[in-house]
Structures are given as structure tokens and as C-alpha cells.
Amino acid sequence: MAEESRSNRLNGLIWPATAKSDEETGELSIGGLKASELIKEYGTPAFILDESDFRARAKTFRDATHKFFGEDAEVYYASKAFTSVATCKWLAADGVNLDVCTGGELAVALAANFPPNRIEVHGNNKSVAEIEEAIQVGVRFIVADSLIELDRINSIAGRLGKKQAILLRLTPGISAHTHESIATAHEDVKFGFSIASGAAMLAAVTAIKREHLILEGVHCHIGSQIFDDAGFILAIERLIRFIAEVKKTHSVELHHLDFGGGFGIAYTDLDDPMDIHLVLQKIHEALVAQCEKNEISMPTIAIEPGRAIAGPAMVTLYEVGTVKDVVLEDGKTRTYISVDGGMSDNIRPSLYGAEYSALLANRISTAPPTPSRVVGKHCETGDIVIRDIALPSDIVPGDVLAIPATGAYGRSMASNYNHILRPPVIAVSDGVAKTIIRREKISDLLALEEG
């Protein structure tokens, strides 16, 4: 109780569950560890991952999925949001399956001894080697994305003397309300087989005929960072109608339906994400109604959340390096605060115009807020972490900024642009910190040089 009264509550939608800001000192702590302790040990920039929060979010999806769709429903965590051997081990232990979309993501899962029969493999251009590896280790599903790929999977499975369970990636023709680059189920898109054009039916017929394929069901993913359930409901309607059509015309029952991920999260106080229980309940209602209407039995359901598990569980800590006031055309001043990372550890603001929030994490400030822009250290004007934010006017070099909700597509999309070293990921829990991905070293960069 005493602990509570000394801590400012941080918005639980944006910050990890254990994040607190000390009321007297203003210092941020996560997983029972102060920002200053973490920085002393691990330096900046660093991704701090709240282990219990990550695992709790994954288990919430698992339990909600079971509650609405039954015990055989499955959650496949989307590795692309963030993956590591440690997180794969947590997911394996917590009964959450894994979606991978490259040989690299599969390799991390296998290095964690993740059970292959709980892995689903995606991708619109899987290589022969990737397909071979997936079949050989015995993954649960390969999600087929083109006719060429159907034949490729069939012939590789044949060569290995196996039959491979597959799902068809379908395009239900839906324009999800999200950034253009992360909407995936409208017609003019590289993914999947269009239902409307007949490509999906052709793919189903082709798959049914192939000797080494077991066509178990269908898959779709309508996009990412979605705040509205309408797209999911419409996708369900179209997928169920498709399943019924295949049953009617080819007497084959597709008994597995995976409707992907995409559940949006809050990055700033203005974001109001959907309640996951409410969305799943609505999807369940739509499923029951559609199955009844189309006279098919309820398929086994799977979902693939990534962002909603990893995103809010991680925070980036940066150290401020320079502060500069810039006078704008209208005579107003903007404070540019440069931190020791930027677009190499968070490309999302430059790529999608994504917005983030920030907190002065090492001390309390009573200085009035001033219009500010948080920028990185890359040689590029677009290297912006937060375009417009009001931050205390007394921020100086050496201060620490914490950016919440960087867990998804931050470290996983990080680059070495300008030969910057990618930050570590430090998992914190109950006062204990452990490195799950170490900071890159100059020797890692030089190790690739052969000149």
C-alpha cells in the first residue's frame, strides 16, 4: 500500500503492467528495477521487456480464445512482432503456439526447442530450403500463398516421403482501416488467393488433388493495428461462405479457420484499442451465425496476435545527447531533443507515421512543458522518434527518456543504418534483470567484412 501511494500510476494501456513512476523522485521502474539501475548495468539505448506482462498478455489471448472458441482453439504468436529464444521458451511453456514467416524465425523457434508441431509457417515467397526445413522438422501447418507454392510444397513433401498439412491464405477483399502498408486483405495485394476472382477456389481444387498435401483449412490476415471489429466480421462471413462452397462443390470439409492477428494497441493517450474479449465475442457470434446460415459445422479456430502481446510489454530507454531550440517560420520555438538511437531501433515513425509518447524517466521535473521533437542520431531529417510532444523545458543532456509500447516491430525491424549497433533486449521480472538479446558490438559488424 505504501509502495502504491509513492508511485504515479502510468496509463496501463501504453505502459507495461509493472511500470511505475516514483512520485518523489520521478524515476521510472519496471519489473521492480529502477531505470538508473538498468542503465548502469546495460547502457542505452535498451529495450526493457516486462516478462510477466508479455506472458500475461499471451495467456489472456490463450484463455479468451479457449473461452469463446473451445479448448481446441489455438493462439499462434506472430514472431515477426518480436522474437527471441527466451520469449519462444515462455510461449512454449505457457501453451501458446508460434507463427513464423522465414527460415530465420523458424531457426530461433527451433533453437528454443519449440515443439515443431505447434508452429505455423507463413510467407508469400518461401524458399525451397525453408519449405524443406519446415516439412522435415514437422511443422503443424504451412500456409500456402500461390499455386506455384502449392506445387513446390507438394513436390518437396513427396521427395521427403511425407504429407504436409496446409492452409490456404485467402484474400477476402477487405480494406482494413489502417496504414496502407499494413493492410493486407484488399484485392490488389501480394498476399494470398482472392476469393472474389475465383483464385481461391482454383487453389482449393489444386490442393485437394495434390497427393502430398492435406488441405485442412483456410487462413486470412486482414491487416495490423486494427481498431474496429467490422473487418474481422466481414472476413469471417466471406471465409465461412467459401468453406461452405468448397464443401458443396467438392465434398471436402475444411475444418480449420485461422483469421490472423491485427489487434490494435495504444501508443498514446489518444488511442482507444478494442477490448480483446469483446472482439472475440463478436467474432464468435458472427461465426455461429454464419456456420448456421451456410450449414457447415464450426471449424477449429486459430488467431495470430503479435503486436498486442509484445507491444505494450516493452519500453525503450534512451539517453538525451543534445538539446537545441529551433525558431520556426511562425516565430515559435521547437525544442529538438536528440537521443542515442532513432530510426535504426524504431523505424515505425518514419515508415508509417506512427506516434509514440515519452516520459522523462530519471528524475522529476516541475518545469513547464514545451513543444518538442524527439529525434535520433542518424544522418537523416526523417529520423524522428516523436514528431510533436510537450516535454519539460528543462531536459538536458544525460537525462533519460522512456518510450513506451515499443515491443512490437521495434527490435524486430531494427537495422544497422549508419553502422549503429542494435540495442539489447533486457527482460525484467520481480527485481531481476536478464539479457535475452545482447547489445551488438563493433566486432559483430566487422565480422561480416571480408575485404
Q: CA 41, CA 216: separation in Å to the nearest integer?
A: 49
Indicate the residue among 122 and 212 with the shorter CB distance to ligand LLP.
Answer: 122
By C-beta, is 35 or 315 nearer to ligand LLP? 315
- Residue 304 or 399 having the CB closest to ligand LLP: 304
Nearer to ligand LLP, 12 or 353 (CB): 353
Spell out the residues 6+ positions from residue 213 whose beta carbon is closer than 8 angstroms to its own: 150, 153, 154, 157, 163, 164, 166, 207
Q: DSSP strand E in 177-309: where?
A: 193-194, 213-219, 256-258, 300-303
**Least distance from C-beta 265 to ligand LLP, angstroms?**
9
CA–CA gap between residue 155 and residue 176 (Å, rounded): 35
Nearer to ligand LLP, 355 or 394 (CB): 355
Shortest Å distance, C-beta 1 to ligand LLP: 37
88 has catalytic annotation: no
What is d(CA 419, CA 379) in angstroms, rounded to the nearest whole number? 11
- We find the least distance from the C-beta atom of residue 170 to ligand LLP, in angstroms, to be 11
CA distance 358 to 335: 14
Cα 161 from Cα 426, distance rounded (Å): 43
Burial state string for 420-451 with b = 16 or more CB within 10 A and e = fewer than 16: bbbbbbbbbbeeebeebbebbeeeeeeeeeee
Sequence-distant (6+) residues with CB within 8 A of 203 are 144, 147, 150, 168, 193
Residue 155 DSSP symbol: H
| Residue 95, burial from CB neighbour count under 10 angstroms (0-12, 13-18, 19+) | middle
Strands 97-100 and 119-121: parallel
Task: Tell me whether residue 370 is exposed, middle or buried, using C-beta atoms within 10 angstroms of its C-beta: 0 to 12, 13 to 18, 19 or more.
Answer: middle
In the complex, minimum distance from the CB of residue 341 to ligand LLP, in angstroms, rounded to a whole number? 16
Choose between 106 and 244: whose C-beta lies nearer to ligand LLP: 106
Nearest to 123 by CA among 109, 134, 137, 110: 134
**Minimum distance from CB of 178 to ligand LLP (Å)?**
8
In whole angstroms, the minimum distance from the beta carbon of 385 to ligand LLP comes to 14
Nearest CA-CA partner of 239 in 181, 304, 182, 296: 296
Shortest Cβ distance from residue 351 to ligand LLP (Å)? 7
Alpha helices, H only, 94-229: 103-111, 128-137, 147-159, 199-209
Residue 137, C-beta contacts closer than 8 angstroms, at least 6 positions apart: 106, 110, 116
Catalytic residue among 88, 101, 291, 379: 379
Burial class (CB in 10 A: 0-12, 13-18, 19+), 157: buried
CB of 33 to ligand LLP, least distance (A): 27
Alpha helices in 190-275 (DSSP H): 199-209, 230-250
Q: Which is nearer to ligand LLP, 146 or 338 (CB)?
A: 146
CB-wise, 50 or 99, nearer to ligand LLP?
99
Binding site for ligand LLP (CB under 6 A): 78, 80-81, 99, 122, 182, 221, 224-225, 260-263, 304-308, 348, 352, 408-409, 413
Q: Which residue has its beta carbon closest to ligand LLP?
A: 261
Grid coordinates belonging to 53: 506482462
Q: Annotated active-site positions, please?
A: 379
